């Protein structure tokens, strides 16, 4: 809901205000971004160019959030700030700040250079380590004195459990905070359930989307699965001897992107 809220409100803000900048892509989905740009918003990730551009009066902070330093720069620039950070991400940011103030070493399970992770690590001062997979967990610095584990909200829940297990063996006193988004997890669980009822799964989204990649990786463990962004990515030959097709989209996948592919598949007589 945080992503959908940010998407809807950013378009409303763009329609109501001229000279409005969106600080980076609102979501990792080029179809959604196309709608954003068509609403009149300008997308820019360069904080310096935004601050120094006197023509820009309004700045939207996207669902991924930003670091305290970036937010401070924006507010000092005297521009109107619309903070559309996902409430769940905001909770992780504030938790990170609290843990950092308590002198914990914060282990962040997430994607390096992902905007949400960049924002979160800004709340961790200098006491943080980013790990992206089980290999990173196994090779972590073992001299940490007071470590805690948190996660980027859209990471794979199965991997989070695996990494938690590895780190708990290394640091028996480790405190684990499951900061994964429940809505993302529910979507993944429903898609997994659906995958047991069909002959082929199609995961729809943008290949830059962390939560959609996570969804794809989970579903393909159960059934043949393809990741598509648009109709041209679909190989019709895959539908041979497949009577039931399951569709799933990530948190950042707009409804119309799913509906377009759904209608295309329904036009094929060989599937239901």
Q: 202 has which bridge partners? A: 226, 247
Q: Under a CB-based contact definition with an 8 Å cutoff, are residues 152 and 111 in contact?
A: yes
Contacting residues for 222 by C-beta, under 8 A, at least 6 apart: 192, 195, 196, 201
Q: Supply 109's token pair.
A: 């399970």
Cα-based torsion angle of the residue sequence 33, 26, 192, 244 in order, rounded to the nearest 10 degrees? -10
CB 261 within 8 A of CB 228: yes
| Alpha-carbon gap, residue 26 to 38, rounded angstroms | 14
Q: Could you confirm whether 116 is annotated as catalytic?
A: yes
Rounded to a whole number of angstroms, the distance between the first and last alpha carbons of the chain is 29
Of 43, 119, 40, 51, give the one whose Cα is nearest residue 85.
119
Q: Which of 45, 102, 105, 116 is catalytic?
A: 116
Give the whole-angstrom CA distance, residue 64 versus residue 82: 13
The DSSP 8-state label assigned to residue 18 in this structure reads S
β-strand pairing of 80-83 with 42-44? unpaired
Q: Going by C-beta distance under 8 Å and a sequence separation of 6 or more, which residues neighbour residue 55?
A: 19
Q: Write out the catalytic residue numbers.
A: 116
């Amino acid at each position: 809901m945080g992503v959908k809220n940010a998407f809807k409100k950013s378009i409303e803000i763009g329609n109501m205000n001229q000279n409005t900048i969106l600080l980076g892509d609102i979501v990792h989905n080029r179809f959604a971004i196309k709608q954003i740009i068509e609403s009149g918003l300008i997308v820019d990730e360069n904080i310096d160019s935004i601050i120094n551009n006197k023509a820009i009066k309004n700045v939207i902070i996207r669902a991924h959030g930003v670091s305290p330093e970036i937010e401070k720069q924006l507010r000092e620039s005297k521009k109107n700030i619309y903070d559309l950070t996902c409430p769940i991400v905001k909770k992780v940011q504030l938790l990170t700040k609290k843990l950092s103030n308590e002198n914990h070493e914060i282990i962040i399970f997430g994607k390096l250079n992902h905007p949400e992770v960049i924002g979160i690590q800004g709340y961790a001062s200098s006491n943080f380590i980013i790990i992206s997979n089980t290999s990173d967990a196994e090779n972590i610095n073992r001299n940490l004195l007071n470590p805690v584990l948190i996660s980027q909200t859209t990471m794979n829940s199965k991997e989070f459990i695996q990494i938690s297990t590895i780190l708990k063996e290394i640091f028996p006193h480790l405190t684990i905070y499951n900061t994964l988004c429940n809505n993302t997890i529910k979507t993944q669980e429903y898609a997994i359930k659906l995958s047991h009822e069909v002959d082929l799964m199609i995961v729809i989204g943008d290949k830059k989307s962390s939560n959609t990649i996570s969804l794809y990786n989970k579903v393909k463990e159960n059934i043949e699965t393809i990741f598509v962004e648009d109709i041209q990515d679909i190989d019709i030959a895959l539908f041979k001897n497949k009577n039931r097709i399951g569709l799933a989209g990530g948190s950042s996948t707009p409804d119309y992107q799913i509906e377009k592919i759904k209608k295309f598949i329904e036009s094929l007589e060989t599937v239901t």
